[in-house]
Chains A and B, each alone.
Chain A
């Protein structure tokens, strides 16, 4: 099992450019999440999905969009990147029916917007 994988690992964008981050999991998990991690702020939830075809906003959704067309994949899009979106992005997945199960995290994508 690969667990949770993220593509790409690093990316540098210019302000106004767009990109898509891909998250894939092979554990048949229902729930998937996108977080951003900034120094001193812990993890902040951007968007999440409770199943194929469903998505919802988290704490900091502005400037991001997501899609979950297949159960194993969760895509995070930046339509017009801004320097404030410079961060490390983590995807996570979890078994869905009870929150007593832990999240499994990917290795992260380090994004710099200049």
Chain B
């Protein structure tokens, strides 16, 4: 069984401020973790993912996330927000657990960037 919790359905930051979007997961086997971004009226696209190896992963548009097994977290950060970062962000978890590998999505966090 697996689940994802995204804390905060809406987050507002000022342009140039740190972006921190929180994601906690549960999984009975080693997880694969993903962050997707959805711009208005578009489909989801991959920002970054963790599979194995280095726990700090870098993605597109200056975003990065750190896999912390002890905290079961995979928070998304960006040092300096841009107006173009305004979007909805989804954390997702899956695992190779035999048979069909279900992907579980969080409920999303809408990021607002204030000029």
- Chain A residues within CB distance 8 Å of chain B: 4, 33, 40-43, 45, 48, 50, 56, 90, 92, 98-100, 102-103, 105-108
Contact = CB atoms under 8 A, between A and B. Distances in A.
A109 B96 CA distance: 30
Contacts of B55: none
Given A90-B43, A105-B44, A105-B45, A40 B96 contact: no
Interface residues of B, number: 25
B96 A102 contact: no
A50 to B, nearest CB: 7
Nearest to B101: A99
B114 interface: no
Contact of B108 (A42, A45, A100): A42
Max chain B Cβ within 10 angstroms of own Cβ: one of A4, A45, A92, A99: A99
Contacts, number: 53
Interface in B99-115: 100-103, 105-108
A102 B51 CA distance: 10
B42 interface: yes
B82 interface: no
Contacts of A4: 43
Contacts of B49: 100, 102
B40 to A, nearest CB: 11
B46 interface: yes
Contacts of A41: 107
Instruction: Give the 5 A-B CB pairs with smallest separation, nearest first.
Output: A99-B101, A105-B43, A42-B107, A100-B51, A99-B94
B95 interface: yes
Contacts of B46: 102-103
A43 B105 contact: yes
11 contacts: A42-B105, A42-B106, A50-B100, A99-B32, A100-B49, A102-B49, A103-B46, A103-B103, A106-B43, A108-B41, A108-B43
A49 to B, nearest CB: 10
